[in-house]
Structure 1
Amino acid sequence: MAAAYRVDAQRWSELFETLMDTIEARFARPESRRRVRDFVAGLLAPLPVKNCWTIAEHAGDGGPGGMQDLIGRAGWDDAAVRADVREFVTARLGHPDGILVVDETGDLKKGVHTVGVQRQYSGTAGKIENCQLAVHLSYASPLGHTLLDVALYLPKSWSEDPARRAEAGVPDAVAFATKPQLARRLIETAVAGGLPCRWVAGDEAYGGDPQLAAALRSHRLGYVLAVACSHRAPTGLGVQRADQIAAGLPKQAWQRLSAGTGAKGFRYYDWAFIALPLAADAHRGHHSVLIRRNRTTGELAFYRCWSPEPVALQHLVAVAGRRWSIEESFQATKTGLGLDQHQHRRWRAWHRWTTLVIAAHAFLAAATTVNTETPDGLIAITVNELRRLFHALVIDPVRRVADVIAWSIYRRRHQDQAKASHYARQALTEP
């Protein structure tokens, strides 16, 4: 029984040190090098809320100022750190059949001062809300999957407002870009950085953009991109909507295939594949429409596909199924690593917080590959389970009573100062 519960915490620790040693090289000052390690460890900790205060307390600092400085004022390049994370992922999870997945996620906000916030549709909320949106790039391979890169969506209400830009510290070089344009930049950065990948997957927001699809073909990247039922494709019967194509298919055109494994079994759907030889362009390759039908409800989903070489239907189905890996990554980073718990309004601080969350998630994804053998009766160690084990076995600090009391005093003193300030301000306007 003891063997069934054996984990290699030492190798987890070595892997963490490898990643952090690389990241720390981006920091000139020794204080920042120590703090970034403590910050990532705090993100991995089971704190009820993650912010600079709680992470500083977890690290044993005397106050939150050091962590706030790391995120807001210290000199370091978050894009360079994400490049380090990409190289780490390439070494640990890289595979020739790797899949790049693009999707956006929203953080609900109150007020109008947080960079990028406005009333806009949020898939997280399922409706129009006051929120930020960010386009994320994730990497999925047979070895695992992780978030990889990010771009904050800056609406025109922000990009065309110099005063708001200046207040939030938006760099002058940042102009308005659509979500598909942001996704293209992220993908091209990953490809230029040497990340091994063969496919790209995304939802309708990206499948409906012909410029993104053309860019992927120019890089010889196959894609399985969701499209709307109104998407039009050239067929032997003329240009038809995707739902018209589906309506004209014979019964024998559908095949029952699994889009991958899930917690409750294989994810079986009915699938149909329609080749589109008339869609050939300068990039050559093979165009097609892929249609998925829910076996219970009959609901249809449509995908526009392209590959440099012919591929089997099962392969396209597998790529379509891997798109959901980014949703798992969003859930893991929001519930366990504080992706949406930042309290930063400015451009630089937002990107730094998100970058370090991505680094923490990449470490966890890579560490799950360390224990390659899973005993009978247990599932493989997940990212969430590894986070719990790693904190308990490797980074849990020995807390002194004096530290706990010192932080209680610090919080209460800060709250007293804030209270006095509020009363003094009120006294200037109230009788």
Structure 2
Amino acid sequence: MDRPSRAVPQGGPRPDEVPFATKTQLAASMLERFWASGHTAGWVTRDEVYGGNPALLSVIATHGTGYVMAVSCRTEVHTLGDKFRVDLLMRKVPRRGWQQLSAGAGAKGPRRYDWAAVDLIPTHPAGTCQLLIRRNRTTGQVAYYRCFSPRPVALPALVRVAGTRWKIEETFQAGKGLAGLDEHQVRRHTPWLRWVTLAMLAHAFLAVIRAGEHYEHPAPTGLIALTCNEIQRLFALPTASPNDQRDHRLPWSLWRRRHQARARDCHYRRREATA
């Protein structure tokens, strides 16, 4: 009796036919497909693994897209004066060259840091290049970003882009905590792909529900806006539960949101008073 043949996935090569590629090569390939589909983006931002790859940065700049990519402290850059390591160049920034700006709202309030930008010799045919430096006043921790933009932009614009990188990390963490993105127990490509797709779909469902609630039913004063975590808790309530249990869950949800709003406001006031 003949053994049944293995089905070949439609729409692309089999997993064992796909050659190895590094993270930066995969990123470049994904961006090329993004642009080939007719989409556009104003900025690209990522961590040191990607910021330290000149080939990837060249691909992004060639398409006229700006980037704010983190780099290590050992990275060397060319200024109008000389060539410096970024950690040594940071020491040459005068005191008046720093500005305190917020990189966006965080779990504990606005993420305020000291920021400075240093002009670099352009490494791409058209556009401006800068080194963006972030310094934490409390801990003294410093981060560096290599920046490119097709046209000159102000420091707050670069800071805003640098702050959006946290959104990527927060999205992955939320997908793991709410939809089990990292809880697959599979060893083959196809089951893994199905699991990840289903987890991402579940997370997207929660995000769409949250966005709709924020638009149609804004949170009143004294309550935090409805979050994906709270929606997941409410959906976890079994539909067959008695009415008294559902009536208990909804007031408990309102109490939790009211308590979180009070704790957030107290924390914000304490941070502002300390600053």
Structure 1's 376 and 74: CA in aligned 2 closer, same or farther, altered over 3 A?
farther
Name the counterpart of 1:326: 168
TM-score by length of structure 1 reads 0.51
Q: How far has the Cα of 1:352 moved from its partner?
A: 1.9
- Cα 1:374–1:197, aligned 2, differ >3 Å: closer, same or farther? farther
Give the drift of 1:197: 2.4
**2:51 aligned to 180, 191, 207, which one?**
207
Residue pair 1:170, 1:346 contacting (<8 A) in 2 also: no
Q: Give the Cα separation in 2 of the matches to 1:397 and 1:77.
A: 38
**Cα displacement (A) at 1:353:** 1.2
Aligned residue number for residue 281 of structure 1: 124
Displacement of 1:75 after TM fit? Answer: 8.4
Distance, in Å, in 1 between the alignment partners of 2:111 and 2:62 is 32
Residue aligning to 2:80? 236
CA displacement, residues 230-252 of structure 1 (integer Å, 9 cap, x when unaligned): 11111022121111110111111
For residue 212 of structure 2, give the secondary structure of its aligned residue in structure 1. Answer: coil
SS at match of 1:353: helix
Q: Which runs of 5 or more structure 2 residues have no equivalent in the other structure?
A: 1-5, 242-275
- 1:304 CA drift (Å): 0.3
SS at match of 1:319: helix
In the TM superposition, 1:384-403 aligns within 5 A as 384-392=229-237, 396=238, 398=240
Call closer, same or farther: CA 1:266–1:364 in 2, change over 3 Å.
Answer: same
Say if 2:226 is the partner of 1:378: no
Relative CO higher for 1 or 2, CA cutoff 8 Å, sep ≥ 6? 1
- What's the Cα RMSD here? 2.3
Cα distance change on mapping 1:352 and 1:293 into 2, 3 Å: same
Contact map agreement 2:128 2:151 (CA 8 A) in 1? yes
Q: 1:190 is matched with which residue?
A: 34
Which residue is 2:104 aligned to? Answer: 260
TM-score by length of 2: 0.77
Percent sequence identity over aligned pairs = 48
Question: C-alpha displacement at 1:253, in angstroms?
Answer: 0.7
Aligned residues: 232
Q: Could you give the per-residue CA deviations for residues 53-80 of structure 1, whole angstroms, max 9, x where no partner exists?
A: xxxxxxxxxxxxxxxxxxxx9987699x
CA contact (8 A) 2:103 2:159 kept: yes
Q: Contact between 2:61 and 2:124, CA under 8 Å: does it hold in 1?
A: no
Which residue is equivalent to 2:200?
Answer: 358
Q: Report Cα offsets for 1:373-431 as digits up to 9, x if no partner.
A: 22111122222222233454xxx5549xxxxxxxxxxxxxxxxxxxxxxxxxxxxxxxx
Tell me, yes or no, if the aligned pair for 1:202 and 1:226 is still in contact at 8 Å: yes
Q: Deviations over 1:317-363 (max 9, x none)?
A: 11111101122112211122111111110112212211221222222
